Amino acid sequence: MSKVKYSTYKSSKTLWQKQIPSHWQETELRMLFSDNKNKNIGLIERNLLSLSYGKLKRKDIDNATGLVPASFEGYQIIDKDYIVLRFTDLQNDKKSLRVGYVNEKGIITNAYVGIVPKADIYSKYFYYQLHFLDKIKYFYNLGGGVRQSLAYKEFGREMVLIPPKEEQTAIAAFLDFKITKIDRFIRKKKQLIKLLNEQKAAIINQAVTKGLNPNAKMKPSGIEWLGDIPEHWEVRKLKYVAEIFPSNIDKHSKEGEKAIRLCNYTDVYKNDYITNDMDLMVATASNEQIEKFTLLINDVIITKDSETANDIAIPAFVKENLENVVCGYHLSVMRPNEKIHGEFLFRVLQSKTINIQFEVNANGVTRVGLGTYSQKSPKVPIPPIEEQQQIVSYIETETSKLDQTISTIEKEIALVEEYKTSLIAEAVTGKIDVRDFVIPEVEETESFDEIEDELSIAADGETEFETEETE
């Protein structure tokens, strides 16, 4: 898509935009939307909705899981063209994508702010504008209180941009079309990553449970879920092959403590290896905590709690000497003894056949976790040390090409996500003029090369946001 600008611009009154097209207007959001006061009295509406990663999804009201009330009486009723916003924990990065557009009537928790269009506007355009503000973390600077929350009374005073209604419709239609194609492309890439990860998991599982010699004599492991293992292998509980200690170090810096680099949940969840070149957050810890939880080469770290049981005991391996890196909260350190090589233990814990033991022992309602006993009691197969090292080398060789392919695809996805964000930003702020864009009658599948041609929208020109350099 060629980049077309409006002919003339004027200064903007907002805090986040320098210029807007000359014929656009601006006003406070409360002039266009009202706070939703429609309550589900008498349970007249039963279509339960939840805001998840910027999408409103249906939930089974009779079998709802997670943190649910005793009754859905009094939940707010939302309808098509409403906008829903999550305005709690505003500085928590995990809670990004806080804005959802309502496509169907239903009910949702009063913890969210629901806004109702009250003027002659095209609501979908303003959803995209608020989504843009969410992506540039504009909301993070608002709100107050312990949970850094924002009420509609304050939010309603924020300035918004108002193109003529026909342009609102054109911009929303343009973004709907482009984002649908981009999201389809991303879904296909993620499906490919899933398949590659399944191949990788199969290689690891076979190697750590059956060994590398297809002709090896086998024996019953004595464990139904594990089946037969090579007859010269042993099976031991984790507590006999590794020292295990859950961390109690949170992210908060405290006076009188020493500065450390903190290895957090996401660092372990998203990476196989913990290395010195990782961008770890800076926090503080006491001398006792530093002595106990400083990460050493050959350590294995696992996630000890999560939102779902199948994310329990995700492992990462410390493959090099680290500088002042300490294990953080929600994680446990497993320090192998002489019976097991650290990287072999890491690969064992990547095996779903082995890892399932943690999943079935996890407890909790809104968040599940592992107690100390549940971390020490799972059983693992133990080959001789030399054979462990051979298995580790084999897995590294067999999975390295898969990892490289996955990394390449992830970089493609990141580029396309960046392009999508820039596309929304430039369309809703008038940086580009899409009034003459014609949506094709016959939709074609868009390749990465075709999308890449459009990345110039993100790369060319300076976007006139208050948080960035302006022209």
Q: Please, what are the domains in the chain?
A: 25-162 (3.90.220.20), 212-382 (3.90.220.20)
Q: Which among 202, 236, 244 is positioned nearest to 380, based on CA atoms? A: 236
Q: Please choose, from the candidates 281, 286, 280, the residue with its C-alpha nearest in 3D space to the C-alpha of residue 254.
A: 286
Between 176 and 253, whose confidence is greater?
Answer: 176
Helix (H) or strand (E) holding 178: helix 165-210
pLDDT of residue 445: 58
Of the candidates 292, 288, 315, 289, which has an alpha carbon nearest to the alpha carbon of residue 304? 315
Task: Kindly state the average pLDDT of the residues 174-179.
Answer: 95
Distance CA 457, CA 419 (A): 7
131 in Cβ contact with 99 (< 8 Å): yes
Find, among 370, 355, 348, the residue nearest to 241 by Cα: 348
pLDDT band at residue 444 under the 50/70/90 scheme:
low
* pLDDT bucket at 442, cuts 50 / 70 / 90: low
Stronger pLDDT, 267 or 146, i.e. the higher one: 267
One-letter identity of residue 147: R
> According to the model, what pLDDT value does residue 366 have?
56
pLDDT at 225 over 50: yes
- The whole-number average pLDDT for the span 355-383 is 85
Of residues 87 and 243, the one with the higher pLDDT is 243
In the chain, % of residues over pLDDT 70: 88
Q: What is the token pair recorded at 308?
A: 């779902």
411 or 368, which is more confident? Answer: 411
Give 77-131 pLDDT, tens digit per residue: 999 999 999 888 776 554 567 899 999 999 999 989 999 999 899 999 999 999 9
Decide: 129 and 160 in contact? Cβ < 8 Å. yes
Distance, in Å, from the CA atom of 97 to the CA atom of 92, rounded to the nearest integer, reads 11
What 8-state DSSP symbol labels residue 31? Answer: G
Q: Which structure tokens are listed for 275?
A: 């290395």
Residue 446: pLDDT band by 50, 70, 90 thresholds? low
Q: Output the CA torsion 416→419→424→425 (10° steps).
A: 150
Note the pLDDT tens digit of each residue in 390-428.
Answer: 999 999 999 999 999 999 999 999 999 999 999 999 999
Report the length, in residues, of the chain. Answer: 471
| DSSP notation for 90-130 | TT-GGG---EEE--S-EEE-TTSEEEEE-SS--HHHHHHHH
When pLDDT is cut at 50, 70 and 90, the band that residue 247 belongs to is very high
Contact 182, 190 (CB under 8 A): no
Q: What is the pLDDT of residue 404?
A: 95
Question: What's the whole-number mean pLDDT along residues 291-295?
Answer: 94
pLDDT at 300 over 70: yes
The set of residues, in sequence order, having a beta carbon less than 8 Å from that of 364 and lying 6+ positions away, is 305
Q: Is the pLDDT of residue 463 over 50?
A: no
Question: By C-alpha distance, which of 123, 144, 133 is closest to 97?
Answer: 133
- Tell whether the model's pLDDT for residue 142 goes beyond 80: no
Per the listing, tokens 């941009």 go with: 161
Bridge partners, residue 118, by sequence: none
Cα–Cα distance measured from residue 328 to residue 295, given in angstroms and rounded to the nearest whole number: 10
Mean pLDDT of the residues in the chain: 88
Q: How far is CA 9 from the centre of its chain?
A: 37
Task: Kindly report the number of other CB atoms within 10 A of residue 274's CB atom.
Answer: 22
User: Looking at per-residue confidence, does 254 or 208 come out higher?
Assistant: 208
Determine the pLDDT at residue 88: 80
Report pLDDT for 459. 43
- Name the least confident of 144-158, 259-273, 324-338, 457-471: 457-471
pLDDT of residue 426: 95
Question: Residue 238 in contact with residue 377, Cβ under 8 Å?
Answer: yes
